Amino acid sequence: MNASYDVIVIGGGIIGTGVARALSRYKIDVGVLEKEPDVCWGTTKANSGIVHAGYDAKPGTAKASFSAPGNKKYGGWTENLSVPFKRLGSFVSTKDKSQLDKLENLLEQGEENGVEELEIITDRKRIEELEPNITEEVEVVLYAPTAGVVAPYKLTIALFENARENGVDFHFNAPVKGIQKGEDEAKFTIESGGGNFDGKYVINAAGIHSDEIAGMVGDDSFSIFPARGEYHLLDSEIEGYVRRINFPLPTQESKGILVTPAAEGSIIFGPNHQPLEEPSVATTKEGLEKVLGGAMKLFPDIDTGKIRTNFAGLRAKAGSDDFVIGESDAADNFVNVAGIQSPGLTAAPAISEHVVGLLEDLGLELIDDSDFDPRRNPIPKFAEMDIDEIAQYTDKYKAAKDIVCRCEEVTRAEIEEAIDRGATTLDGIKFRTRSRMGSCQGGFCTPRLIEILSDKLGVSPKEITKKGDNSYLLAEETKKGE
């Protein structure tokens, strides 16, 4: 017999885990199916990490209606989940006073969308106080103090852990391949690479593949067009050089190339906007040059020698250019949460609650589960401890005296705990602990990490991968002097 759920969520990105966690406060059975070995390997892992204030979207769109409300929920969301979130405030800067009207339009649009505290700054001294290293050419700024930065992967992992604590089942390595709608009962049977599952309601949160999933129930009302965005990530050594989230004036297709501190200390530049025929997260010379050029316009003196790595993410743009949220016309009780392009991260808490409401409207009975605990404990972070905390922590755990990742000071205790919490790959450990994210990008600690993973998982080092599938690290044993 197939495992059976009240609600099956397809996709473990910010939307899938957000919805799953929102549902976990009720007495219902929820299962999440994710094709990868871990959560957050789709669009949610590679984006700007901005919790936008909410002035960008045209009033009346779904994007607009979920952004500012999503932003407002972030403080509580991240506090319960113990995920770093900083309201740094954002700047839209122009070099030219004649562009003032454009900023005024944005401000008005923001107010209509419910964004608070928006302000236009024309006083150069104040601009410098807020952002000392911005190009001196900037004369006018739209300042949105409510905008913030979050580590999207940390947040998604926290949502996953908390949902799991509260009873949600997560099935990894379970790519959905087909969906059968039951004849008379309200029931779906879902075929996946990780087994078959029955569900009364299905949430389609499969990101870039959400059109394919919808197609499985005969819904071809929307298509997803991927558009790539590329980034540079700088060493956290220059933390503090950039203090706010900096945008140029937005264009038709995107909010432009931004320069911002990342929630965990480094600085990022990006993204560009490159529509693609075939999804690909490879970076390109042209793309990276464009991003660098864009960033240098705002911060001409930034030390680009501190660039540590590059990455790219894929926007899942629906044809309508808006979020597609609601029950499918093609199948009752099948809910699309698709086309969640930017500002989807921002909107996620509001979307999650909205989807719960939708399910209730569709007849799902929601009874509060008194055991629900909204709080999630993070993995203790050695690098952030003071000396007394270190003394206690290292007294308690022997593995805490063993620093595996030297750049980010990550101990074996943290790595082992990340594995206990579900990491099975190098990337899984990286997103949970920051090992391999520092200056050496894993040069030193990779051999150790392979050892620890293979010990804990009880498999040969040859089976350890960077990110599942065929991404093995070791081809074979050496001849050992034979």
Partner 1 sequence: MMNSNIKSTKKDIVVVGGGPAGMAAGLRGAEEGAEVMIVERDIELGGILNQCIHNGFGVEIYGEELTGPEYAERFTSQISESSVDVMLNTFVLSMRPDKSMTLLTPNGLLEVEAEAVVLATGARERSRGEIRIPGSRPSGVMPAGTAQELINKKGFLPGKRVFVLGSGDIGLIISRRLTWEGAEVAGVAEIMDYPTGLNRNVVQCLHDYDIPLHLSHTVTDIYGSNRLEGVELSRVDDNMKPVEGTGQDIDVDLLLLSVGLVPENDFFKEAGVTLSERTSGPIVDEWFQTDVPGIFGCGNSVHIEDLVDWVTMDGFRAGDGAVAYAGNGNLQSAEKDVVPGENVNYVVPQKVSGEDDFRFALRVEEPMENADISIKGTDISFFEKIVTPGEMEVNEVEGEDLEELQGLDEIEVEVTRRF
Indicate which residues carry an active-site annotation: 52
- Rounded to a whole number of angstroms, the minimum distance from the CB of residue 137 to ligand FAD is 25
Query: Which residue, chain included where needed, has tokens 């407002």?
Result: 72
441 scored as a contact of partner 1 (CB under 8 A): yes
Stretch near ligand FAD under the rule CB under 6 A, chosen from 101-109, 140-148, 208-216, 428-436: 208-216
Stretch near ligand FAD under the rule CB under 6 A, chosen from 42-50, 133-141, 217-225, 281-289: 42-50
Q: How far apart are CA 296 and CA 471, in angstroms?
A: 35
Ramachandran sector of residue 230 (left: φ over 0; alpha: ψ -120 to 50; beta: rest): beta
Look up residue 316 and give its two tokens. Answer: 């899942």
Stretch near ligand FAD under the rule CB under 6 A, chosen from 43-51, 298-306, 359-367, 471-479: 43-51
Rank residues 17 and 139 by Cβ distance to ligand FAD and give the closer one: 17
Q: How far apart are CA 214 and CA 105, in angstroms?
A: 37
Residues ≥6 apart with Cβ < 8 Å to 105: none
Q: How far apart are CA 414 and CA 432, in angstroms?
A: 9
Q: Which residues share a beta bridge with 326? A: 336
Residues 287-326 that bind partner 1 (CB under 8 A): 287-288, 307-311
Residues 4-33 that bind partner 1 (CB under 8 A): none
The only residue of 41, 55, 85, 160 in contact with ligand FAD, by rule CB under 6 A: 41
Residues 225-244 that bind ligand FAD (CB under 6 A): 229
Is-contact 422 290, C-beta < 8 A? no
The only residue of 164, 315, 430, 436 in contact with ligand FAD, by rule CB under 6 A: 315
* DSSP secondary structure letters along 121-171: E--HHHHHHH-TTS-TT--EEEEETT-EEE-HHHHHHHHHHHHHHTT-EEE
The only residue of 403, 428, 433, 455 in contact with partner 1, by rule CB under 8 A: 403
Amino acid at 290: K
72 scored as a contact of ligand FAD (CB under 6 A): no
Is-contact 20 161, C-beta < 8 A? no
Q: How far apart are CA 199 and CA 177, in angstroms?
A: 15
Stretch near partner 1 under the rule CB under 8 A, chosen from 16-24, 193-201, 254-262, 443-451: 443-451
205 scored as a contact of ligand FAD (CB under 6 A): yes
- Rounded to a whole number of angstroms, the minimum distance from the CB of residue 150 to ligand FAD is 9
Rank residues 360 and 389 by Cβ distance to partner 1 and give the closer one: 389
Rank residues 119 and 451 by Cβ distance to partner 1 and give the closer one: 451
The conformation of residue 465, written as its DSSP 8-state character, comes to B
Rank residues 132 and 293 by Cβ distance to ligand FAD and give the closer one: 293
Ramachandran sector of residue 63 (left: φ over 0; alpha: ψ -120 to 50; beta: rest): alpha
Residues ≥6 apart with Cβ < 8 Å to 416: 399, 452, 456
Binding site for partner 1 (CB under 8 A): 233, 280-285, 287-288, 307-311, 386-388, 390-391, 394-395, 401-403, 406, 409, 426, 439-444, 446-447, 450-451, 461-462, 465-480
